[in-house]
Amino acid sequence: MRGPDRISELHDSILTHILSYLPTKEAVGTRILSKRWRNMWASVPVLDFGFADFTDDKYTVFKKLKCHVTFVSFVDSVLASRQVQQLDSFRLVWNFQDQPYSYLAKAVRRWIHHVVQQWPRVLSIYLEPHPTFQDVIVPDPTFTCSSLEELKLHINDSWHKTLNPALVTLPHLRKLNLGYFTIKPDFMDRLLLGSPSLEELELYACCLDISQISCGGLKSLVIDGCCHMTEIEVSIPSLQYLKFTVMSSQREGFVFTNMSSLVKASICLLDANALDVVICDSKAKILAGLLGVTTLDIVLYGSDAMDMLDFILKTCPYFENLKFMHFESFDGCMAECIDMIDHLVQHSPALEEFTFYRCQDDSNDVIELVDELREVMGKYGIARLVECHQGCIYGSPSELEELLDEYLNCFQSMEEEESTEEDEGEASSVDELDEGEEAEEHEGEASSADEVDEGGEEEDAEEEASSADEVDEGEVEEEDEGEASSAEEDDEEDEEEEDEADEYAGGAIKGVDGV
């Protein structure tokens, strides 16, 4: 028997909130459920359009154009049928590199113009248009939409179009992600001045024609896969997280100054070659501004990346605050890895955790690598190797099984050594406790004896004092009694004298009366 439809009994606000987590195509599809659901999708404040939802495994050359036409028609109809004016989020993902039809590019501009008029909070555009469409640019109203808090723009058309809006007014913008653009100094200045609330900035595969990045309130900066031919100075006192990629094509690097709040940094060295090792003086300046970080991630690619990093590290002083280190190397021999890690650990006195990932074809030396790393860790006071990952393992099943046995034996011996050290430490602690208890017992006995002696002395003193008090009290009482007796005798004598005086006085009076 069919049960009640409890979901449809929920309030409209709850249903629209549930639909906001679905792609728009699936949300619109719920209109066939019942009359209650027929127009529910039109009130959803989130729109998510992805061209991948309109293709399938049978996607052929003959169906390509039809799919794109269907996609454009669907987006137009949804935007025209919405029943609410306020839009919370809009996302568009569309790849039409193989379609040289200008009306597709015009559709994008039309949609963006329509969306920014509904004051969205989040706007995400990911496009891969045909290379001939140089008019696929971001409309200027995008940079004057005061309601935006997050803005993501990726237009990959191999042209690296220059962003140059006449005005940038984004007072509430907190996150900005730009991809495949040419960034000029004028735009960067207008962007940072017009976005006073900006906290996170990500630049992906951009051409940076700038010499400085300076922002007072920025907390996170990501520069990934960008190219630049001039040295870029980064001066951001409030920055807490930094991630950037150094490529072999970059003859000039970054100079980091005034980075007092930086906590975590991630560095990736790509496609390093012998020429980079020779001219990496500019790259040696990279780590000079990162010495205060507590977490450092380093990823190396290229045949000579290890030599270049080794040179860079040896030109830098100590990482006094570094506690967590993550290191990935995809090339280079084991000896180079160990030498570089030895130097890095030696210059990081506060290091607590070290994660090492090494990917190479020859996997048979991993046991020796683990032993070498453990020796390095122990030499500089690090308790144990926290993690060791080994990737790209090749070989037959029997060879892999043999390697797995070696892994297990190695780590089992490591655990046994650690347990032995722990047992020794516990035994030492027990001995210390026993010695401490014995010492406490001796001290307790001595203290008891002293207390007994002190108690006896105190009792004797009290008895002597009591006897003295009794003697004194007796003497005082005797003196008081003597004084009282003397006083009584004196009083009796005085009374007798008074009586005698009275008798004499009476006789004298009688004598006078007789005369």
Contact 151, 174 (CB under 8 A): no
Considering the domain architecture, whether residues 300 and 273 belong to the same structural domain is answered as yes
Amino acid (1-letter code) at residue 437: E
Interior CA angle at 46 toward 42 and 51, to 5°? 95
Summarize pLDDT for 431-470 with one digit per residue, the tens. 666 666 666 666 656 555 555 455 554 555 455 544 445 4
Considering the domain architecture, whether residues 299 and 377 belong to the same structural domain is answered as yes
Residue 186 lies in a domain: yes
Amino acid (1-letter code) at residue 295: T
Percent above pLDDT 90 for the chain: 27
Amino acid (1-letter code) at residue 54: F
Considering the domain architecture, whether residues 157 and 306 belong to the same structural domain is answered as no
* Cβ count within 10 A of residue 116: 21
End-to-end CA distance of the chain: 155
Percent above pLDDT 70 for the chain: 58
Considering the domain architecture, whether residues 268 and 204 belong to the same structural domain is answered as no
Residue 424 lies in a domain: no
Which of 394, 427, 444 marks a domain boundary?
A: 394
Per-residue pLDDT, 121: 96
Per-residue pLDDT, 401: 73
Considering the domain architecture, whether residues 172 and 300 belong to the same structural domain is answered as no
Considering the domain architecture, whether residues 153 and 27 belong to the same structural domain is answered as yes
Residue 314 lies in a domain: yes
State how far the Cα of 59 lies from the Cα of 69, in Å rounded to an integer. Answer: 14
Provide the angle, in degrees to the nearest 10, between the axes of the packed helices 334-346 and 305-314.
20
Which has the closest alpha carbon to 280: 319, 306, 243? Answer: 306
Least confident of 227-231, 321-325, 491-495: 491-495
Considering the domain architecture, whether residues 38 and 156 belong to the same structural domain is answered as yes
Considering the domain architecture, whether residues 34 and 159 belong to the same structural domain is answered as yes
Q: What is the arithmetic mean of pLDDT over 277-292?
A: 62
Residue 193 lies in a domain: yes
Residue 486 lies in a domain: no
Edge to edge, what strands does the sheet with 212-214 contain? 212-214, 232-235, 254-257
Which has the closest alpha carbon to 235: 206, 211, 212? Answer: 212
Residue 23 sits in which domain range?
Answer: 16-210
List helix spans (H) across 145-267: 185-194
Which is more confidently placed, 333 or 163? 163
Considering the domain architecture, whether residues 339 and 312 belong to the same structural domain is answered as yes
Residue 376 lies in a domain: yes
Residue 462 lies in a domain: no
Considering the domain architecture, whether residues 94 and 193 belong to the same structural domain is answered as yes
Q: Which residue has the tokens 């970080």?
A: 293
Summarize pLDDT for 137-170 with one digit per residue, the tens. 688 899 999 999 999 999 887 667 888 888 999 9
Q: How many domains in the chain? A: 2
State how far the Cα of 474 lies from the Cα of 484, in Å rounded to an integer. Answer: 15
Sign of CA dihedral 316, 318, 322, 327: positive
CA distances from 28 to 40, 73, 95, 393 (A): 8, 14, 22, 47
Q: What is the arithmetic mean of pLDDT over 354-363?
A: 63
Summarize pLDDT for 104-128 with one digit per residue, the tens. 888 998 999 999 999 999 999 999 8
Which is more confidently placed, 221 or 495? 221
Considering the domain architecture, whether residues 310 and 177 belong to the same structural domain is answered as no
Which of 394, 421, 448 marks a domain boundary?
A: 394
Q: Is 1 helix (H, G, I), strand (E, B) or coil?
A: coil
Provide the angle, in degrees to the nearest 10, between the axes of the packed helices 102-116 and 61-81.
20
Sequence-ordered list of residues with C-beta below 8 angstroms from that of 335, at least 6 positions apart, any chain: none
List helix spans (H) across 279-333: 305-314
Which of 364, 394, 424 marks a domain boundary?
A: 394
Sequence-ordered list of residues with C-beta below 8 angstroms from that of 334, at least 6 positions apart, any chain: 365, 368, 369, 372
Q: What is the arithmetic mean of pLDDT over 186-202?
A: 94
Per-residue pLDDT, 223: 92
Specify the pTM: 0.72
Residue 309 lies in a domain: yes
Ranges 50-54, 245-249, 500-504, most confident? 50-54
Considering the domain architecture, whether residues 60 and 119 belong to the same structural domain is answered as yes
**How confident is the prediction for the chain on average, in pLDDT?**
74
Q: What is the DSSP string of 107-150?
A: HHHHHHHHHHTT--SEEEEEEE--TT-TT----GGGGG-TT-SE
